[in-house]
Chains A and B, each alone.
Chain A
Amino acid sequence: KNEVEQSPQNLTAQEGEFITINCSYSVGISALHWLQQHPGGGIVSLFMLSSGKKKHGRLIATINIQEKHSSLHITASHPRDSAVYICAVRSRGGADGLTFGKGTHLIIQP
C-alpha cells in the first residue's frame, strides 16, 4: 500500500509570499493529484500529474518520478488561497481509488 507523506502539516504565511507544499510517496504511481479542500469539505482538483510540471494561474505543480516526490507552489499568495491542500496518489496498474496524504492546512494572512 502506498504511503503518502505531506509537509508541512500546517503553514501560516503573509499575503504575497511564495508557498511550497511537499509530498512524498513510497510506491510507483500512475498519477498524482493535488487537491484543495475548503472549510465546508468540498474538494477541488487542482492538478493531475504523471510527470514533469504543470502551471495554472499562480499555482505550479511538479513531480519527480525517480525520487517519488511532488511539490505544489503558490506564487503571490492571497488570503483566498487559505485551505487544506491534499496530495493523493493512484497506484500503478489498477482502477484503484486514491491514497491521500493528511493534508497541509494553509493560512494566508492579509
Chain B
Amino acid sequence: GAVVSQHPSWVICKSGTSVKIECRSLDFQATTMFWYRQFPKQSLMLMATSNEGSKATYEQGVEKDKFLINHASLTLSTLTVTSAHPEDSSFYICSALQGSGNTIYFGEGSWLTVV
C-alpha cells in the first residue's frame, strides 16, 4: 500500500539552530501534504497545509517565518524549524493526501527535542 516516509524519527538540536524534517510519499504523488504537531498528552494539531509548487497555508497561531514549509516536488515536503527553542520540542507528523479523494496517509512522525 501507499507509504509516507518521514525523516528523521528523532532529532536533538541546540537552541537557536535550525532543523529540517522531511516527508516523502514513496509510491504516489501527493499534491497536498499536511504538517501536524502534538505536545505531550495533547491532541494532534494541524500546523499548515503544504501544496506542491505554492506557498503553504498556515493555521492561526503558527508562525510561518519560524516553521518554513517547502513542497518542491509531488513527493517531498519539508518542515524547517528555525531558531529552535525548547518550547518547540514536540512530536511532528506529516500526512499526504492521495489523489483528489479523502485518503490520507501518515508519516511515522519525528520527535524533536531542543536543548
Q: Any chain A CB within 8 A of the CB of B95?
A: yes
Q: Any chain B CB within 8 A of the CB of A7?
A: no
Q: Which residues on the B side are within 8 Å of A43 (C-beta)?
A: 93, 106, 109
Q: Which residues on the A side are within 8 Å of B43 (C-beta)?
A: 86, 100-103
Chain B residue at minimum C-beta to C-beta distance from A94:
B49
A100–B45 touching, CB < 8 Å: yes
Bound CA span A101–B45, Å: 10
Interface centre among B44, B46, B93 (most CB of A within 10 A): B44
Count B interface residues, CB 8 Å. Answer: 23
Q: Any chain A CB within 8 A of the CB of B28?
A: no
Q: Which residues on the A side are within 8 Å of B103 (C-beta)?
A: 48
Bound CA span A95–B97, Å: 9
Q: Any chain A CB within 8 A of the CB of B32?
A: yes
Report B's interface with A, CB cutoff 8 A.
32, 34, 36, 38, 42-46, 49, 51, 91, 93, 95, 97, 102-106, 108-109, 111
* A–B Cβ pairs within 8 angstroms, 14 of them: A30-B102, A35-B106, A40-B109, A42-B106, A42-B109, A45-B105, A95-B49, A95-B51, A97-B36, A97-B46, A97-B49, A98-B34, A102-B42, A103-B43
Q: In the complex, given contacts A50-B102, A86-B43, A95-B51, what are 5 additional A-B residue pairs having Cβ atoms less than 8 angstroms apart?
A: A86-B44, A88-B44, A90-B104, A95-B49, A103-B43
